[in-house]
Amino acid sequence: MEGFDYARLESDAPWRKRLAWLKRTQAKAFSPQPYTHLAHVYARAGRREDGRRILLAQHDLRTRQGAPGPIAWVFSSLYGLIAGYGLAPVRVLRALVLFVALGVAGVLSMNAQGALVTPEGRACNGAVEPALYALDVALPFIDLGQESRCAPGRAARADLPAGMALGESDWRLFEGVALWRWAHALYALLGAILAALAVLTFSGALKPKES
C-alpha cells in the first residue's frame, strides 16, 4: 500500500475494518503513509472523526514500532494516552478533570487526618476550598491564594503514622507528614506537566505533522 493513491472509498465499511486490513498489509514493515492517505480520504468524504481515529492508530503503531529508545517510548506512549498525540483535546480535558478530582480527595483526606494546617499550626478545616486548593497546587501559572493559607503539617490532634526511626537521627521513615509532603510535591509536579500538555494540545503546537 506504500504510495498507492486513491481519491474515494466505494464501500461503506467501518473504519475499524479498514484499519485492521491496513495492519495486515504491513505485518513486516510499518509505514505511516497509507494511514495518512486513508485519513485524508475520510476527511474529504466528510468523515473527519473516522480520519482522526486512523491517525491516532498510526501514531500508536509508530510509537510501538519506531520509538528510538525506551525513554522516548514511555513519553510518547503517555502523550498518546493523555492527549492523543495532540489529536484528542477531549482526552486531556478528561485527564485534567480526573486529576483535580484526585486532588480534592487528597485535600479532604489530609484535612481529616490533621495533616493540612494553617501557618499557625491549627487544623485547616474551612480555611480553604478543596477544589480551589487542588487547582492552586496543580496549576503553576495561576495563584488562587489557597496554598498560602494551608500546607502539609501536623495539627494538635493529628492521626498520622509516626514512622520508623532511622538510627539515632531525627529522621523517620514513612512518617505521616513527610508522606503527605511528598504527595503534595508529586501532585504539583504532575499537575504542571499535565497543564503544559493541555496548553500545547489546545494550541496545536504539538499536533503531529502530516507524514
DSSP one-letter string for 140-186: TT---S-TTT-EE---TT------EE-TTSS-EET-HHHHHHHHHHH
Residues 16-32, mean pLDDT to the nearest whole number: 79
Nearest alpha carbon to residue 71 among 62, 63, 61: 63
Q: Which residue has the cell 514512622?
A: 163
> Which segment of 73-77, 179-183, 187-191 scores lowest on mean pLDDT?
73-77
Q: Is the pLDDT of residue 143 over 60?
A: yes
Residue 140 and residue 137: Cα distance in Å, rounded? 7
In tens, the pLDDT along 171-188 reads 666 677 889 999 999 999
Q: Is the pLDDT of residue 46 over 90?
A: no
User: What sections of 8-88 are H helices per DSSP?
Assistant: 15-25, 33-44, 48-66, 70-83
Q: Is the pLDDT of residue 193 over 70?
A: yes
Domain range summary for the chain, segments of one domain joined by +: 15-66, 90-203
Contact criterion met (CB below 8 Å) for 164 and 174? yes
Task: Pull the grid cell for residue 46.
Answer: 466528510
Rg (CA), the chain: 24
**Comparison of pLDDT for 190 and 59, the residue scoring more:** 190
Q: What rounded mean pLDDT belongs to the chain?
A: 83
Contact criterion met (CB below 8 Å) for 166 and 140? no
Q: What is the DSSP letter of 116?
A: E
pLDDT band at 131 (very low <50, low <70, confident <90, very high): very high
3-state secondary structure 187-199: HHHHHHHHHHHHH
Contact criterion met (CB below 8 Å) for 35 and 3? no
pLDDT more than 70, % of the chain = 86
Beta bridge partners of 173: 164
